[in-house]
Amino acid sequence: MYVGVDLGGTKIAVAVVDVERGTLAGQLVVPTEAHEGPPAVLQRMIQLVRAVCHAAGVPPDQLQGVGLGVPGVFDAASGHTLLLPNLPSAWVDVPVVPPLVAALGCPVILINDARAFVLGEATWGAGRGAHTVVGLTLGTGIGGGIAINGRLHLGIDGTAGEVGHMTIDPHGLLCGCGNRGCLETLASGPAITALGIRALVHGNTTSLGELGGYDPRRVTPELIGQAAAAGDPVARDILDRAADALGIGVANIVTTLSPDRVVLGGGVTHLGVWLFDAVRTVVRARCRAVPVERISIMPAALGADAGVIGAATWAAQQQLKN
């Protein structure tokens, strides 16, 4: 049996995963408490792995491996994280794998959390049975990955699938990666929120003020979606702009890879049918060299479990390879 761990900026999800069926047992989700520092977070993960194994009735000596999804960049050879920007101290050159292996007595294998999401969905979720699956996670940032025949295509140093950093507007806003006009600056949760706050602060005629108690801190993509659904033209324009940028990004991916399925997950997808219909419309309009009628653009199916399942599946695949 394998354990999947999904390390996030606000929470850690852990479960025993049956990688032959894609089912979970002994699942736990706890706050990351990242402000306590890497050693405390690592100790928390060790305790969680032991707890889920106990809850699932898996003896420690029967644990074959742990897959750990991390929100950033790591060195697979050393097992050190290089940059996890959503965690305090950014976890620069933090040894993660060695202390976990020493404590748990089994292999621990790192994977980027967005790639874990894609592998989970490609294996057991919305992409199951498809030859080529591209996944995008739309939240605080925009991550992604590519799976071909149930295997991740990682590229150099595991960097394939950084879809959030493709250029959509070459003269656009500066992105955290140092480029301008990345998809992430146009269609992520913070990008959508920033447009809503700007409209409110600039005194645009919009219901966002009333809905949010005239407090810019209460503006979220969900609030903007609520206003748009009620017919607010400013909110609709904000979401149309974000969907157009996302549609262009997906169209670029579709034209390049011609995948069977494009799977969208993450908090921004809670905007629902409107978002998916808008993206599909843009893709149909812009993709002229590939059979778009045979390409499905669909919501993720595994919800918050995708990362845990994908991380455990990745660990199992790496063990079989070795």
Q: What is the mean pLDDT of residues 186-202?
A: 93
Q: Within this chain, do residues 137 and 83 fall inside the same structural domain, yes or no?
A: no
Reply yes or no on whether the pLDDT at 108 is more than 90: yes
Q: Within this chain, do residues 312 and 295 fall inside the same structural domain, yes or no?
A: no
- How far apart CA 54 and CA 109 sit, in angstroms, is 21
Q: Within this chain, do residues 108 and 167 fall inside the same structural domain, yes or no?
A: no
- How far apart CA 311 and CA 179 sit, in angstroms, is 29
Question: Does residue 261 belong to any structural domain of this protein?
Answer: yes
Q: What is the mean pLDDT of residues 298-304?
A: 95
Reply yes or no on whether the pLDDT at 18 is more than 90: yes
CB 253 within 8 A of CB 262: yes
Domain count for the chain = 2
CB 128 within 8 A of CB 122: yes
Buried b (16+ CB within 10 A) or exposed e, 264-280: bbbebbebeeebbebbb
- Rg of the chain in Å (alpha carbons): 20
Q: Within this chain, do residues 17 and 64 fall inside the same structural domain, yes or no?
A: yes
Percent of the chain at pLDDT > 90 equals 86
Looking up residue 110, the CATH number of its domain turns out to be 3.30.420.40
Element (H, E) at 150: none
For residue 38, the 8-state DSSP code is: H
Range of the domain at 114: 2-118+304-321
Give the orientation angle of helix 113-124 with respect to helix 306-321, to 10 degrees: 90
pLDDT tens string 166-192: 999 999 999 988 999 999 999 999 999
Q: Within this chain, do residues 192 and 88 fall inside the same structural domain, yes or no?
A: no
Q: Within this chain, do residues 296 and 309 fall inside the same structural domain, yes or no?
A: no
Q: Within this chain, do residues 215 and 86 fall inside the same structural domain, yes or no?
A: no
- Model confidence pTM above 0.85: yes
Q: Within this chain, do residues 280 and 187 fall inside the same structural domain, yes or no?
A: yes
Reply yes or no on whether the pLDDT at 320 is more than 90: no
Q: Within this chain, do residues 145 and 291 fall inside the same structural domain, yes or no?
A: yes
Question: Does residue 33 belong to any structural domain of this protein?
Answer: yes
Question: Does residue 124 belong to any structural domain of this protein?
Answer: no
Dihedral sign, Cα of residue 33, residue 36, residue 38, residue 40 = negative
User: Which two three-digit tokens encode residue 129?
Assistant: 């049975």
29 CB neighbour count, 10 Å cutoff: 14
Q: Within this chain, do residues 49 and 86 fall inside the same structural domain, yes or no?
A: yes
Q: Within this chain, do residues 84 and 139 fall inside the same structural domain, yes or no?
A: no
Reply yes or no on whether the pLDDT at 322 is more than 70: no
Q: Within this chain, do residues 270 and 136 fall inside the same structural domain, yes or no?
A: yes
Instruction: Please report, to the nearest 10 degrees, the dihedral formed by the alpha carbons of residues 78, 79, 80, 81 taken in order.
Output: 140
Q: What is the mean pLDDT of residues 120-127?
A: 97
